[in-house]
Amino acid sequence: MMNTGHLPTPNTSARSLSTVSVKDRLSQNNRKDFFTFTLTSRSSFNASLKGIHRKANVDLLLRDASGQVMVASKNKGNLPEKIRRVLSAGSYTLQTTLKGKNKTRYQLTASSQLTPSNSPVIGTAPRPNGAIDLAGNSLGTARSIVLSSVPNSFSDVVSSVDPDDYYVFTVGDTNHPSAKINLSFTKTGQDTGATINLRDQLGNVIKAESLYSSDGGTNFSKTVAAGTYYLQINSDRTTPTPYNLSLATTLIPDTAGNTFGNARSLSLTSAPTAITEFVGAGDQQDFYRITVDGTGAPTERFAVELKGINGNLIENAVRVALRDGLGNLITSESVYSGSGGAAINKNIAAGTYFLEVNTIYESSDGTDYTLNVSSTPVPDLAGNTRPTARFLTPSATPLTVNDFVGIGDGDDYYKVTLFSNQTLNVTLSGAGGEVTTASLVYGLQDALGNSIGGTSGFAAAGGGATFSKALTGSLGGTDYYFRVSPSSSFSEGTNYGVTVAIV
């Protein structure tokens, strides 16, 4: 059963508001009421529905003469419903619809006010000055528009009689989890204000700009996750605000997966590889997989530099982390908005590693970034056993050689052969004028690997060691071995120098 009632025609002969009010009820057997009314001239029309039982829910719809729904107000629960529209002369129907099971009484109030001829009118009929109100006054009646990389322009008017224009659009797609919305808004008429709200799919405002009378317009960009968004242009000023709106979107691909399993593989060389990527809205993490096969050298000097793109600074805070093949953190660096960047330098052994870039604040737009990644083999010239020791020939003139021990290379052995009794001077130092960056242990051994007293010790990072030792030689040659190792198996290691001389 449906009730069909007639709302008295609102008085449109004057500009003053004329209000009519009816009370009715809805229940399971009577889920819809209809009220028709006629406007004799174009009018600003207001309807509100109140007094809904606290456990009930009623929606309010406005239909044109053909029955087409023009506006729907569908608030949750017993929240009041409101419809505000400029309507052309003609017949209309207000419909109340019960949602859910609980019956209720309600009060429907409607009013209309004659609209000045320069106000926008609903529908597609052009106004005398050519403007059209194509954009509805709520999320549900938003004008659906399509955004592309080329700006699309829309012209409309908002004012006290048509205070809201809503637009709805989608950005991004399965290959583009993020997108930039580029907006340009220009007021084309008199000095009035307007507010621009960008809303997410749930209607939450994610970006807002208020324009005062003196503002001619505004431009902004907002990076968002792929999805549906609403743009609301609002003004409740009596003087209409005509405007031009220009919207475009820039799609942002993601070439670096969001999990260890989907990591992008990098093959590194000593020359830096440059990668340009983005993390932020819609794409909070980028993972890269690095495989070091160890064929060139037991150790690689891994270097990553994270910067803004094209010389720009980092827009929003991000972190870059180096992880081992199991995902355990090795080291990380955080960079904040306005920073030039950060770098990680690390000695690594053969194996699989992950490089992760992620946003620090998930609510931020995110940032474009460039990674410069390289991996340089660190050769091992001094074998890890006595049989593979590096052979040195000491003389009265000191002989210095440089090498590295640490990650991937736990031992360096040097061999000297004496043909007569001689005093050997050994100095452990930094390499090439640099200091050591990790502590070392050292010592002299005989041909069987036995330690020789007074030749071993600990050299702290930044320091060195030196000793002289009288050794026995023979005509057939007597071999001695000098061993250098990092003081801890967890040490990243260091470059160092060894100097030998006969004194």
Distance of alpha carbon 177 from the chain centroid: 10
Q: How far is the CB of 380 from Ca ion (least distance, A)?
A: 4
356 interacts with Ca ion by CB under 5 A: no
Q: Is 397 exposed, middle or buried (0-12, 13-18, 19+ CB in 10 A)?
A: exposed
Q: How far is the CB of 184 from Ca ion (least distance, A)?
A: 27
Q: How far is the CB of 257 from Ca ion (least distance, A)?
A: 6
**What CA–CA distance (Å, rounded) separates 185 from 195?**
10
Q: How far is the CB of 379 from Ca ion (least distance, A)?
A: 8
Q: Is 129 exposed, middle or buried (0-12, 13-18, 19+ CB in 10 A)?
A: exposed
Q: How far is the CB of 349 from Ca ion (least distance, A)?
A: 12
Judged by CB under 5 A, the chain residues 213 through 272 that form the site for Ca ion are 254, 256, 258
* Number of residues near Ca ion (by CB under 5 A): 14
Judged by CB under 5 A, the chain residues 367 through 386 that form the site for Ca ion are 380, 382, 384
**What CA–CA distance (Å, rounded) separates 235 from 388?**
83
**What CA–CA distance (Å, rounded) separates 18 from 11?**
6
Which residue, 155 or 258, is less far from Ca ion as judged by CB?
Answer: 258
Q: How far is the CB of 450 from Ca ion (least distance, A)?
A: 21
Q: How far is the CB of 256 from Ca ion (least distance, A)?
A: 5
Q: How far is the CB of 252 from Ca ion (least distance, A)?
A: 8
**Tokens 């709805």 found at:** 168
Report the candidate in 360, 292, 279 with the shortest Cα–Cα distance to residue 325: 292
**Tokens 């399971």 found at:** 28
Return the range that interacts with Ca ion (CB under 5 A); candidates 115-123, 124-132, 168-176, 408-416: 408-416
400 interacts with Ca ion by CB under 5 A: no
**What CA–CA distance (Å, rounded) separates 345 from 30?**
74
What single DSSP character describes residue 30? Answer: B
3-state helix vs strand vs coil in the chain, percent to 5: 0, 55, 40
Return the range that interacts with Ca ion (CB under 5 A); candidates 29-37, 286-294, 310-318, 427-435: 286-294
Among 33, 286, 356, 365, binds Ca ion (CB under 5 A): 286
Report the candidate in 124, 111, 118, 170 with the shortest Cα–Cα distance to residue 144: 170
**What CA–CA distance (Å, rounded) separates 392 from 403?**
13
Instruction: Count CB-CB contacts under 10 A for residue 320.
Output: 25
Among 283, 315, 356, 365, binds Ca ion (CB under 5 A): 283
Return the range that interacts with Ca ion (CB under 5 A); candidates 83-91, 288-296, 389-397, 412-420: 412-420
Report the candidate in 235, 156, 160 with the shortest Cα–Cα distance to residue 193: 235
Which residue, 211 or 382, is less far from Ca ion as judged by CB?
Answer: 382
Return the range that interacts with Ca ion (CB under 5 A); candidates 183-191, 273-281, 346-354, 452-460: 273-281
Which residue, 133 or 286, is less far from Ca ion as judged by CB?
Answer: 286
- Put the strands of the sheet holding 241-252 in their side by side order: 152-158, 241-252, 178-187, 217-225
Return the range that interacts with Ca ion (CB under 5 A); candidates 119-127, 152-160, 285-293, 478-486: 285-293
Q: How far is the CB of 263 from Ca ion (least distance, A)?
A: 9
Which residue, 141 or 358, is less far from Ca ion as judged by CB?
Answer: 358
Q: Is 157 exposed, middle or buried (0-12, 13-18, 19+ CB in 10 A)?
A: buried
Judged by CB under 5 A, the chain residues 461 through 480 that form the site for Ca ion are none
- Put the strands of the sheet holding 104-114 in their side by side order: 18-26, 104-114, 43-50, 81-87
Which residue, 410 or 473, is less far from Ca ion as judged by CB?
Answer: 410
Which residue, 302 or 404, is less far from Ca ion as judged by CB?
Answer: 404
> Where are the strands (E) in 336-474, listed by range?
341-349, 351-359, 366-378, 390-391, 399-406, 412-418, 422-429, 440-446, 457-459, 465-471
Which residue, 201 or 262, is less far from Ca ion as judged by CB?
Answer: 262
403 interacts with Ca ion by CB under 5 A: yes
Among 164, 300, 315, 412, binds Ca ion (CB under 5 A): 412
Q: How far is the CB of 472 from Ca ion (least distance, A)?
A: 27
Instruction: Count CB-CB contacts under 10 A for residue 121.
Output: 22
Return the range that interacts with Ca ion (CB under 5 A); candidates 33-41, 167-175, 360-368, 402-410: 402-410
277 interacts with Ca ion by CB under 5 A: yes
What single DSSP character describes residue 239? Answer: S
Return the range that interacts with Ca ion (CB under 5 A); candidates 108-116, 321-329, 405-413, 449-457: 405-413
Q: How far is the CB of 494 from Ca ion (least distance, A)?
A: 10
**What CA–CA distance (Å, rounded) separates 126 from 142?**
19
33 interacts with Ca ion by CB under 5 A: no
Window 98-117: contact mask with Ca ion (x via CB under 5 A) = --------------------
Q: How far is the CB of 439 from Ca ion (least distance, A)?
A: 16
**What CA–CA distance (Å, rounded) separates 332 from 432?**
29
Given the rule CB under 5 A, which residues bind Ca ion? 254, 256, 258, 277-278, 283, 286, 380, 382, 384, 403-404, 409, 412
